[in-house]
Structure 1
Amino acid sequence: MATATESDNRGSRPASPPGEGSLTIAPEDYSLLSDLYELTMAACYCGEGLDDRPASFELFVRKLPKNFGYLIAMGLAQAFEYLHNFRFTPEQISSLQSTGIFAKVSDKFWSTLENARFTGDVWALPEGTAVFPNEPLLRVEAPFWQAQVVETYLLNTLNYQTLVGTRAARIRDVAGPSATILEFGTRRAFSPQGSMWGARSAIAGGMNSTSNVLAALKLGRKPSGTMAHSLVMALTATEGSEMQAFRAFHHYFPGAPLLIDTYDTVEAARQLADRLLDGDMEVAGVRIDSGDLAKLSKQVKELLPDARIFVSGDLDEWEIAKLKAENCPIDGYGVGTKLVTGSPVNGVYKIVEIDGMPVMKKSSGKVTYPGRKQIFRRYEGGKQVGDRLGLASEEPQPGETPMLQLLYRKGKPVHSPDTLEAIGDRTQNTVASLPDSARQLDDPTPPPVEISESLQALTQKTQEKYNLL
C-alpha cells in the first residue's frame, strides 16, 4: 500500500538532483542572468549618486569574423522580451544579500532593485539589416544603472543570433533562392536555450525550417527532418533488408525522404530504382549524409532522376559553394554544426555618454568613439556603396538613409515585433543590396565606413578634455 507521502506526490514533478537546483531559465530569472560586475557597478552608482543620471551605451563589433564581409543584425525580439521582464523579486534580492558580496552597499541599492523596471529608450537596427565594424547594432538610453545592468543579456542574445543569422544569410546567398535549406543544429548548439535562438535566427536569416520541434512549433512553423541511420540499421536487422526498412518507414510517413547512405549509397539507390520500375515503391526524395557528396549525388541522380536529392553532414557556405561549382544535382541542404558554432561575433557594449557628456575609451586596440551615433547609409542603383558613421544629432546628407530607429521608448516597444517572414525578406533584400566584394566567401571587402567630420571633431575634443592624446 502506498504511504500518504507517496500518494501525495503522485503526478508531481520529480525532485531536482541532490545539491543542484534546476538551471532552466524562466523570464523571471532574466535580471540575474548577468555578470557580477554589472551589479557591483550598479551598487557603486547608487552609492555615488550616479544611478539615475541619463546614460547612453552602444553595442557594436570592432571587427568582423574572419572571411566575413558583413553581419546581419539579429536577436532584437529576445532583447525586448528581456527588457519587458526586467525586475528583481524579493527572493532574488535575498539571494544576492546572502552572498555577502554586497555587505557594504547602500540601502538605496536594495530599494532600487526592489522597484526595478526598465524605463529607457532603445535605438536599434531592425533585424535583418547589415552592419559593419564600429557601427552600433543598438543604443540604450536609460538611467545609468539600468543601462549598465542590461549589458550581459543584450550581448548574449545579439552576439549569438547575429552570428547564426549571418551564417544563414550567407548560406542562402550561396545556395540560391530555390534550394531547400534546413537547420539541423540543435544537438551542436551551445545550450538548449541557444538551440532555440539558433533555430529562430537561422529561419530569419533565410532557411526554410528547423528540425527543432519545440522551436518550430513556438515559431508557428512545421518542423522538418527525415530519419537517422539507427532506424535504418534497426529495421534492417529486424525486417530483413534495407528495402524493408524503407518500406516500413514509408508506411507511416508516405513520401518522406529516405536516408540512403547507411551501407552503400549507390546500391541503395539502384535497388530503389528497381522497385520504382516494378511499381513497388514511390521515392519522392533521398538524403545523403556522408561520403563524396558531389560524386554520390550525380550517381544517385542517374538512378533516380525524378527524386529530390538532399545532402547533409558538416556543411557550411564553403562546402555548398563547392557543390554548386561542380553542378551537383542537389535540391536541398541540412546545415547544423558549422551554422550554430564557429567564429564568434565579438560584440561589445560601451558607454558613450553620461549626463550629456561624451566619454570614450583609449585602451590599446580598443578605442571607442564618443557620443550617441547614427549610421547614414548610401545606395546607388539599389546597391550599398558605403556608410557614414556620425553623431545622432547630425542630419542625413543627400542620398543617405539613417539606419538606427527608435524601437523601444520609455520602457515599451514602439510597435509590434516584426514577423519572421518580414525579417527574412529584409535579410534577403539586404544581402542582395551588398556589393559583390562584401558577399564573396574568401577575403571579402566590406563597404567603406566613413567617420563624419562632427564625430572626428568630438573625438578630438574628448581626447583633449581627458588628456587622452
Structure 2
Amino acid sequence: MTTFSGLGYLEANHLEINIQPSLLVQAADDLSLLTDLYQLTMAACYVGEGIEQRRASFELFTRRLPEGFGYLIAMGLAQALEYLEKLRFTPAQVQALQQTGIFAHAPERFWQLLLEVKFTGDVWAVAEGTAVFANEPFLRIEAPLWQAQLVETYLLNVINYQTLIATRAARMRDVAGESATLLEFGTRRAFSPQGAVWAARAALAAGFNATSNVLAALQLGVKPSGTMAHALVMALAAMEGSEDQAFAAFHQYFPGSPLLIDTFDTVAAAERLGLKVNSGELELAGVRLDSGDLVELSKQVRSHLPNVPIFASGDLDEWEIARLKAAGAEINGYGLGTKLVTGSPVNGVYKLVEIDDIPVMKQSSGKVTHPGRKQIFRTVVDGKVTADRLGLMDEKTANEQPLLEIFMEQGKLLRSPENIETIQKRTFTTVASLPEEVRRIQDPINLPVNISNQLADLTQKTINKGIVNRK
C-alpha cells in the first residue's frame, strides 16, 4: 500500500527528468513585451533626457499584508532571474511598437537600446521560502535606470502571485500538520495557464507533496498526482453495469491511485470496498471524498476502511482544514485547488529608492517609502524569530541575520537555481521559527518591523532636502 510521510514525500518521488526551465514559460522573445506601456514610455523619456544609464535602485515590497495573514512566504525569484537573464527585444517587436504610433516622438536611440538590451544589473533578494513582513523588500534591482524601470511589471507579476500561493500553501501545511498529504489541484481555477504552472511550483515549494499539473510536475522533476473524476465512475458504471466495476477497471490500470467514492452512495461504496480490502482481495492506495459532510462521512468510511488513507477535497482552505481537524474528521490528506490559487492578492509594489547615489522616497499619505538601499536584519533566539529591523545596506550587525543576498551581478547569475526540496525545507524551517501569534490563522499578529536609527535619520534628511514624491 502506498504510504505518505509529509515533507519526505517529494524526495521519495523525485524523478530523474531533465527538462529546461524555459518550458515553464513562453519563449524569452515573447516575454519582453509582457509589460505595462508606461514602462516603455518612461524608458523612452529617460533616453530623451540623457539619464537612462544613471544607476538606479528599485525595491519590491508590500506595504501591508493581505487581511488575515501574519506573514508572507517570498516566492518567484527563480522565474524573475530567468526573465532578467533572457531579456531581449526582436526586430519584429520593435517594429510592432513603432507601428502603434505612440512613440512617434521618442528619440531614435531608444530603439537602438531596445535592440541591444541585455540586463546588466545586480539583483539582491531574500531566498525563496523565507518569511517576510510588510515594508520589507523581497527584492532589489540595481541597474541602469531604463533597464530597472523596464522590468517592473514582470517582476511584480511573478513574485506577487507566487508569494500569495506559497503563503497560502505554507499556512495550509502548518494547519494540516507535517504528516498530512497535501495535493495541489488548482490548475482549472488558476487565472491563466501560466499562473497554474506557477501556482503548482509555489505550492510544492511551500510544503505540498504533489501537484496534479503534469507540466509543472515533470519540469520540477516530481511525479504528478491525482485520482479520478466522477465522469469516469458514471461512464463505466453505465457501460459496465455497476460502480464496483468502474472501481475495478480504474484500479486495474492505476493501482496506486485513490478511488473517488462519493459519486452515488459514499458509505455504501466504502462498505463494499472494505469487504474486499479486509478479505485480501484488494489493496487500496486511498479513497477520496469530494462532497457532503466530510466529518461524518470520513468517520463512517473509516469504520469500513480502517487502514486506508482518506483524502478530502472540495473548495477547502486552511480554516476549513482546521475546522475538520477540530471536529475529529478521519482525514489523512487534502486536495486543494480553488481557495489555494485564488484569494486576496499580495499587493507588492516596486519603488525607486536611490538614483546616482541620491536617496529618494515617496511621501504620499498611506504610501510612504523609506529612501536608500536597505537590508532586513533578523534576530533569531533559540530557533525563534524575535524581531526584524529594517536598516541600510552598509549598517554593521553582530547578532542579526541579514536576509537580502546577491543573486545576480552585472547581469550574470552567481548561483544555480535551487531545487524544490531545498526551498520546501527552508519554508518549513522559517514558518516553524515564527511566533505562534504570527502563524495562527485566526487574528494573527504582524511581527513589528523596527526602523534603524540610520534609516530614520536618512528618511528625515531626505524629507528636509525635498527629494520626495508627494503624489
Cα separation, 2, equivalents of 1:133 and 1:278: 57
Structure 1 segment 34-433 matched on structure 2, within 5 A: 34-396=35-397, 398-433=398-433
Cα separation, 1, equivalents of 2:284 and 2:356: 67
Indicate whether 1:440 and 2:440 are aligned: yes
1:38-96 Cα offsets, whole Å, 9 max, x none, are: 00000000000110000000000000001100000000000011001111111111010
Name 2:19's counterpart in structure 1: none
Q: Which amino acid aligns with 1:404?
A: L
Cα separation, 2, equivalents of 1:311 and 1:27: 39
Alignment CA distance shift 1:290-1:165 (3 Å): same
The SS at the match of 1:32 is coil
Deviates more, 1:456-465 or 1:117-126: 456-465
CA drift of 1:278 comes to: 4.9
CA drift of 1:114 comes to: 1.4
2:299 touches 2:330 (CA, 8 Å); kept in 1? yes
Name 2:453's counterpart in structure 1: 453
CA drift of 1:271 comes to: 1.7
CA drift of 1:464 comes to: 1.2
The SS at the match of 2:98 is helix
1:284 touches 1:306 (CA, 8 Å); kept in 2? no
Q: Which amino acid aligns with 1:407?
A: F
The SS at the match of 2:362 is coil
Q: Which amino acid aligns with 2:357?
A: G
Name 2:10's counterpart in structure 1: none
Cα separation, 2, equivalents of 1:467 and 1:273: 73
1:298-353 Cα offsets, whole Å, 9 max, x none, are: 11001111111011110111111111112322111100001110010000000000
Cα separation, 2, equivalents of 1:278 and 1:122: 61
Alignment CA distance shift 1:75-1:467 (3 Å): closer
The SS at the match of 2:303 is helix
Cα separation, 1, equivalents of 2:446 and 2:177: 21
The SS at the match of 1:187 is helix
1:188 touches 1:336 (CA, 8 Å); kept in 2? yes
Deviating above 4 A after TM superposition, structure 1's stretches of 4 or more consecutive aligned residues are 277-280
2:255 touches 2:284 (CA, 8 Å); kept in 1? no
User: Mind listing any 5+ residue stretches in structure 2 that lack a counterpart?
Assistant: 1-24
2:360 touches 2:467 (CA, 8 Å); kept in 1? no
Q: Which amino acid aligns with 1:454?
A: Q
1:431-454 Cα offsets, whole Å, 9 max, x none, are: 000000110001111222101111
Larger radius of gyration: 1
1:384 touches 1:447 (CA, 8 Å); kept in 2? no
Q: Which amino acid aligns with 2:188?
A: R
CA drift of 1:277 comes to: 4.6
User: Mind listing any 5+ residue stretches in structure 1 that lack a counterpart?
Assistant: 1-23
CA drift of 1:467 comes to: 7.3
1:195-254 Cα offsets, whole Å, 9 max, x none, are: 110110100000011000111111111100010000000011011111111111111112
1:30 touches 1:85 (CA, 8 Å); kept in 2? no
Instruction: Tell me how many residue pairs correspond in the alignment.
Output: 445
2:185 touches 2:211 (CA, 8 Å); kept in 1? yes
Alignment CA distance shift 1:277-1:455 (3 Å): closer
Cα separation, 2, equivalents of 1:214 and 1:117: 29
CA drift of 1:30 comes to: 1.3
Cα separation, 2, equivalents of 1:95 and 1:467: 37
The SS at the match of 2:32 is helix
Q: Which amino acid aligns with 1:460?
A: Q
1:22-41 Cα offsets, whole Å, 9 max, x none, are: xx932211111000000000
1:132 touches 1:446 (CA, 8 Å); kept in 2? yes
The SS at the match of 1:159 is helix
CA drift of 1:284 comes to: 3.3
1:385 touches 1:448 (CA, 8 Å); kept in 2? no
Alignment CA distance shift 1:467-1:141 (3 Å): closer
1:184 touches 1:335 (CA, 8 Å); kept in 2? yes
1:230-287 Cα offsets, whole Å, 9 max, x none, are: 0000011011111111111111112421100001111111121233355543333110
1:376 touches 1:402 (CA, 8 Å); kept in 2? yes
Cα separation, 1, equivalents of 2:112 and 2:259: 61
Cα separation, 2, equivalents of 1:285 and 1:440: 30
1:376 touches 1:401 (CA, 8 Å); kept in 2? yes
Alignment CA distance shift 1:117-1:241 (3 Å): same
- With the length of structure 1 as denominator, give the TM-score of the two structures: 0.93
Identical-pair percentage: 65
1:57 touches 1:147 (CA, 8 Å); kept in 2? yes
2:361 touches 2:467 (CA, 8 Å); kept in 1? no
2:73 touches 2:427 (CA, 8 Å); kept in 1? yes
Q: Which amino acid aligns with 1:453?
A: N
1:286 touches 1:308 (CA, 8 Å); kept in 2? yes
The SS at the match of 2:361 is coil
Cα separation, 1, equivalents of 2:68 and 2:414: 36
1:72 touches 1:166 (CA, 8 Å); kept in 2? yes
Deviates more, 1:269-278 or 1:209-218: 269-278
